[in-house]
Amino acid sequence: MLGIHFSSTIQISFQKKPPNPICGKTRAELLRNHVMVRWSFLGGEKVANKSRIKRIVSYRNQHLNPSASWILSSEVASNSFTIGTVAVLPFYTLMLLAPDAQLTKRSMSSNIPYIILGTLYAYLFYLSCTPDSLGLMFTSKYWLPELPAIAKMFSNDLTLASVWIHLLTVDLFAARQIFHDGLKNDIETRHSICLCLLFCPLGIAMHFITKILCNQIDRFNHK
């Protein structure tokens, strides 16, 4: 007769563990002390310093990821610079190549380009404003701008882009005034308008010189 004997031995050993460092402290107290408690089936409860982890994550993000706001402002400034420059070129082209065309006269009579450029300028100006902007503009005791402060303010891409849009708007407006004055008085204006594209004060001065010379020629011819 086959006999089967089952035997089992149960050995229970107790080992005294070192005192738990978090014994006697509630989780609320640990959280207040910036301590993070992690529990796992294998290792039990582990204590980690949250502030140290936060410093490590912040250090890694600072050195691995560039500033998102700086990238965004740089892209906005670059795109605005390109859009503004391209937007005014068709108007100068019409005034230079077809000054007597009806399309040119209707285009230069419209105020829509100035509304668009003005809105773009206001947006860039809003983005470039900082608490230090007024302080940089009025640094002297007489509340007048100074060149070093203005140069420092223009080191910002958004500020520089807003100044460029400002110049494009004023130059185009001056060129339109010269164009209309030339049509009214039958004066050649293409050379003055060409100067207004990049050298607006020279274009205005050239138009007045041209106008004076034309008036002198007309007087001489009438005599």
Task: Per residue of the chain (223 residues), give pLDDT as tens.
Answer: 444 444 444 344 444 444 554 444 454 454 444 444 444 444 444 444 444 444 433 444 444 344 556 667 888 889 999 999 999 999 999 999 999 999 999 999 999 999 999 999 999 989 888 777 767 776 666 677 778 888 888 888 888 999 999 999 999 999 999 999 999 999 999 999 999 998 999 999 999 999 999 999 888 887 6
195 and 146: one domain? yes
9 lies in a domain? no
40 and 144: one domain? no
pLDDT at site 5: 44
Residue range of the domain that includes 113: 68-222
44 and 75: one domain? no
96 and 197: one domain? yes
51 and 80: one domain? no
7 lies in a domain? no
Total count of domains within the chain: 2
87 and 44: one domain? no
12 lies in a domain? no
- Look up the pTM and report it: 0.65
Beta strand pairing call for 44-49 and 35-40? antiparallel
Q: Which of 64, 82, 114 is the last residue of a domain?
A: 64
Establish how many alpha carbons lie within 13 A of residue 5's alpha carbon, considering only the half-sphere containing its beta carbon: 1
Q: Which two tokens stand for residue 67?
A: 């500033």
pLDDT at site 10: 39
110 and 81: one domain? yes
197 and 218: one domain? yes
pLDDT at site 74: 84
If you ran DSSP here, which 8-state letter would residue 46 be given?
A: E
75 and 118: one domain? yes
- Which residues partner with 44 through β-bridges? 40
74 and 57: one domain? no
